[in-house]
């Protein structure tokens, strides 16, 4: 490549970095992305012509595409994800760590010449509304056109991001599928290099390197890598929070609107809750975001949340007009589908979309589907789509100040013990609730089925620093403002089962009843009783549900023996964080135990 730094942009640091990465990776071409619709269409056509994307039936799914990945490149890879802080203790017991200098040497070897025969795309993107002081600009260098298309849908990408950046600093991220091409060599359908795969974060440098995977969470660096792992470390240093939370606006029949954020581990239906169609007449829900929230203390002392993303990268299986009608409407057009099944008339299909599989399906492996050989759609198959297409896209979703939070909700998938809903006694108790989240694994997750996994704040795979320090940071956030300005904190559990193994709560749109109680609690308008674990509803609106009083009592029951056992499990888990485990949270655990024993 050339020696004189090229004037790619107005930002000198960015220009030098682009040249530096180009000379390391040695691509055949360099393309600076402007983020225009024309650029998107041009790149999509290139992929269609190469047989890597399939244009869906324009009558059924306008301007949408289907593709399938390499069978070994279908999910995030936690065992190959690294937090390379200078000190090992800053990464903590729940992250993989390598000494930064050593990791840099390894990355240098991996990336040396890795883009030969490919185009290197430079993708500037803004996480957060373009004019927001809370937004962070990233620049991803990638050799995957698929990544560019997804980044266009998921972020504010291209020219607007560069304009926001001006001469400021950005989070650099380098991504390669890890398959250089010799002169004239034909590319793979989905190039990837699973043996050498690694997703690496340098929290002090604020940089990201990702090699060998083309899959979403590993390759779209704005999402989990920047907006959670790097941003959580920035938030620790600057006094704000980067969280794995949906953000929704809820309006009462009286026209009063409040905002809530909610954290759930995977397979708990976060996207479904974010876009809920309430069953209760007169209530309205609008969606700010379905995955990530950045939370700052506002001038008025309240906590304000922005969604750093601009799109949804949602799990397809299980999504239907019954479970999430707004998602179904959102993905009607201009959507990329990855690893779902393809119908004979070039529409998409997945398990749970509605009833039986139609004849003539092409499976996610790109073959005629054989039902005896597993699901037609990969369980982690996805849709990528702009959030603006959501019919309930919140009017304040692009507000650069964010939206004021009245409630923060934690949840998990728990067959037993955890009641449908309860409220924390204080901010500290709420932080304890977040640290206590655990969830039963489902078929969609790997590992044993039905096993209880701790996932504090649903951040276990996404915290860019020591989880004990993270707990402390949450406690400190509560000190930054007056207690009455803080959102109240809740735990919910949609998944409690009766002794005969049936889900006790209808879930989905009926969850509006729980949100209504939370809504009213945040203004002291709903009755509650103080119990050992927190405030529980004494009256929940279950009109027209035909659930008996006895049933509701079971759903909200606090089984003291089971809870004491729960505290044993937590005490053992918290030991993992050693000296970094905040005394205040151990105190919350002790007090909970004492209240249960009383």
What percent of the chain is helix, strand and coil (3-state, nearest 5)?
30, 20, 45
Q: Which of 84, 267, 433, 477 binds ligand TSX (CB under 6 A)?
A: 267
Instruction: Work out how close the CB of 264 gets to ligand TSX at its nearest, in angstroms, rounded to a whole number.
Output: 9
- Residue 269 contact partner, candidates ligand TSX, Mn ion, none, CB within 5 to 8 A by sort of partner: ligand TSX
The answer to whether residue 390 forms part of the interface with ligand TSX (CB under 6 A) is no
- Would you say 193 or 210 has its CB closer to Mn ion? 210
Footprint (CB under 6 A) of ligand TSX, residues 273-292: 273, 276
Closest among 474, 495, 445 to 581, alpha carbons compared? 474
Instruction: Work out how close the CB of 75 gets to Mn ion at its nearest, in angstroms, rounded to a whole number.
Output: 12
* Residue 543, C-beta contacts closer than 8 angstroms, at least 6 positions apart: none
- Residue 291 contact partner, candidates Mn ion, ligand TSX, none, CB within 5 to 8 A by sort of partner: Mn ion
Catalytic residue flag (residue 463): no
Residue 454 bridge partners (DSSP)? 438
The answer to whether residue 269 forms part of the interface with ligand TSX (CB under 6 A) is yes
- Would you say 208 or 504 has its CB closer to ligand TSX? 504
The answer to whether residue 433 forms part of the interface with ligand TSX (CB under 6 A) is no
Site size for Mn ion, by CB under 5 A?
A: 1
The answer to whether residue 439 forms part of the interface with ligand TSX (CB under 6 A) is no
Going by the DSSP 8-state scheme, the letter that residue 22 receives in this structure is H
Strand ranges inside 226-352, DSSP E: 241-243, 245-251, 257-263, 284-289, 293-297, 303-306, 311-315, 336-338, 341-342, 348-349
Instruction: Work out how close the CB of 308 gets to Mn ion at its nearest, in angstroms, rounded to a whole number.
Output: 13
Closest among 72, 56, 52 to 64, alpha carbons compared? 56
- Residue 100 contact partner, candidates Mn ion, ligand TSX, none, CB within 5 to 8 A by sort of partner: none
* Residue 422, C-beta contacts closer than 8 angstroms, at least 6 positions apart: 490, 491, 531, 533, 534, 535, 536
Looking at 55-63, 135-143, 151-159, 288-296, which segment touches Mn ion (CB under 5 A)?
288-296
Q: Which of 25, 268, 287, 463 is catalytic?
A: 268
Instruction: Work out how close the CB of 244 gets to ligand TSX at its nearest, in angstroms, rounded to a whole number.
Output: 15
Going by the DSSP 8-state scheme, the letter that residue 518 receives in this structure is H
The answer to whether residue 291 forms part of the interface with Mn ion (CB under 5 A) is yes
The answer to whether residue 511 forms part of the interface with ligand TSX (CB under 6 A) is yes
Looking at 284-292, 299-307, 441-449, 530-538, which segment touches Mn ion (CB under 5 A)?
284-292
Distance from C-alpha of 532 to C-alpha of 560, rounded to nearest angstrom? 9
Instruction: Work out how close the CB of 444 gets to ligand TSX at its nearest, in angstroms, rounded to a whole number.
Output: 8
Instruction: Work out how close the CB of 250 gets to ligand TSX at its nearest, in angstroms, rounded to a whole number.
Output: 13
Helices (H), 50-158: 100-111, 145-154
Q: Which of 1, 481, 508, 584 binds ligand TSX (CB under 6 A)?
A: 508
Three-state DSSP class for residue 340: coil
- Would you say 65 or 495 has its CB closer to ligand TSX? 495
- Would you say 495 or 574 has its CB closer to ligand TSX? 495
The answer to whether residue 449 forms part of the interface with ligand TSX (CB under 6 A) is no
- Residue 295 contact partner, candidates Mn ion, ligand TSX, none, CB within 5 to 8 A by sort of partner: none
* Core vs surface per residue 229-261: b (16+ CB within 10 A) or e: bbbbbbbbeeebbbbbbbbbbbbbeeeebbbbb
Closest among 389, 154, 392, 407 to 287, alpha carbons compared? 392
Helix/strand number for the chain, H first, E second: 15, 28
Looking at 36-44, 199-207, 211-219, 505-513, which segment touches ligand TSX (CB under 6 A)?
505-513
The answer to whether residue 318 forms part of the interface with ligand TSX (CB under 6 A) is yes
Report residue 406: phi and psi, to 5°: -95, -25
Looking at 22-30, 49-57, 255-263, 291-299, which segment touches Mn ion (CB under 5 A)?
291-299
Closest among 266, 571, 575, 195 to 447, alpha carbons compared? 266
Q: Which of 146, 427, 471, 494 binds ligand TSX (CB under 6 A)?
A: 494
Distance from C-alpha of 351 to C-alpha of 362, rounded to nearest angstrom? 13
Going by the DSSP 8-state scheme, the letter that residue 504 receives in this structure is S
Residues noted as catalytic: 268
- Could you list the residues that contact ligand TSX (CB under 6 A)? 267, 269, 272-273, 276, 318, 494-495, 503, 506-508, 511
């Amino acid at each position: 490549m050339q020696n004189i730094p090229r004037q790619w942009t107005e930002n000198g640091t960015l220009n030098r970095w682009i040249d530096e990465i180009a000379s390391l990776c040695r691509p055949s071409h360099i393309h600076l992305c402007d983020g225009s619709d024309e650029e998107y269409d041009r790149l999509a056509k290139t992929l269609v012509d190469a047989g890597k994307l399939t244009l869906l039936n324009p009558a059924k799914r306008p301007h949408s595409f289907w593709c399938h990945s390499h069978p070994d490149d279908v999910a995030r890879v936690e065992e190959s994800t690294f937090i390379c802080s200078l000190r090992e203790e800053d990464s903590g017991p729940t992250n993989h760590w390598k000494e930064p200098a050593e990791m840099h040497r390894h990355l240098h070897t991996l990336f040396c010449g890795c883009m030969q025969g490919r185009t290197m795309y430079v993708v500037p993107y803004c996480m957060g509304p373009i004019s927001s002081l809370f937004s962070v600009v990233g620049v991803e260098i990638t050799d995957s056109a698929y990544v560019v298309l997804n980044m266009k849908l998921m972020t504010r990408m291209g020219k607007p991001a560069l304009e926001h950046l001006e001469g400021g600093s950005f989070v650099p991220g380098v991504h390669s599928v890890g398959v250089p091409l010799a002169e004239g060599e034909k590319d793979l359908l989905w190039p990837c290099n699973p043996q050498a795969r690694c997703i690496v974060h340098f929290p002090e440098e604020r940089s990201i390197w990702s090699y060998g995977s083309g899959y979403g969470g590993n390759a779209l660096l704005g999402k989990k890598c920047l907006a959670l792992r790097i941003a959580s470390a920035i938030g620790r240093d600057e006094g704000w929070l980067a969280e794995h939370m949906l953000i929704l606006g809820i309006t009462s029949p009286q026209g009063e609107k409040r905002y809530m954020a909610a954290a759930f581990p995977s397979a708990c239906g976060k996207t479904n809750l974010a876009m809920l169609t309430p069953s209760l007449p007169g209530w309205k829900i609008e969606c700010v975001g379905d995955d990530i929230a950045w939370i700052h203390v506002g001038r008025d002392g309240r906590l304000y949340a922005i969604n750093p993303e601009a799109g949804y990268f949602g799990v397809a299986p299980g999504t239907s007009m019954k479970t999430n009608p707004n998602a179904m409407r959102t993905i009607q057009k201009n959507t990329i589908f990855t690893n779902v099944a393809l119908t004979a008339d070039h529409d998409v299909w997945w398990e749970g979309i509605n009833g039986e599989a139609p004849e003539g399906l092409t499976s996610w492996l790109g073959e005629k589907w054989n039902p005896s050989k597993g699901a037609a759609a990969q369980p982690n198959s996805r849709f990528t789509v702009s959030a603006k297409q959501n019919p309930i896209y919140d009017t304040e979703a692009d507000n650069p100040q964010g939206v004021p939070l009245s409630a923060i909700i934690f949840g998990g998938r728990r067959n037993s013990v955890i009641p449908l809903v309860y409220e924390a006694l204080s901010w500290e108790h709420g932080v304890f609730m977040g640290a206590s989240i655990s969830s039963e694994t489902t078929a969609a997750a790997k590992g044993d089925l039905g096993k209880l996994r701790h996932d504090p704040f649903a951040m276990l795979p996404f915290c860019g620093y020591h989880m004990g320090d993270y707990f402390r940071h949450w406690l400190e956030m509560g000190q930054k403002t007056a207690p009455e300005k803080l959102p109240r904190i809740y735990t919910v559990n949609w998944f409690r089962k009766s002794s005969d193994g049936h889900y006790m709560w209808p879930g989905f749109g009926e969850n509006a009843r729980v949100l209504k109680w939370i809504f009213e609690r945040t203004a002291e308008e709903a009755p509650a009783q103080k119990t050992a674990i927190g405030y529980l509803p004494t009256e929940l609106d279950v009109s027209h549900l035909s659930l008996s009083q006895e049933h509701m009592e079971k759903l909200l029951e606090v089984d003291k023996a089971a809870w004491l056992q729960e505290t044993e499990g937590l005490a053992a888990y918290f030991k993992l964080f050693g000296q970094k485990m905040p005394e205040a949270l151990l105190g919350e655990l002790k007090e909970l135990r004492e209240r249960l024993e009383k």
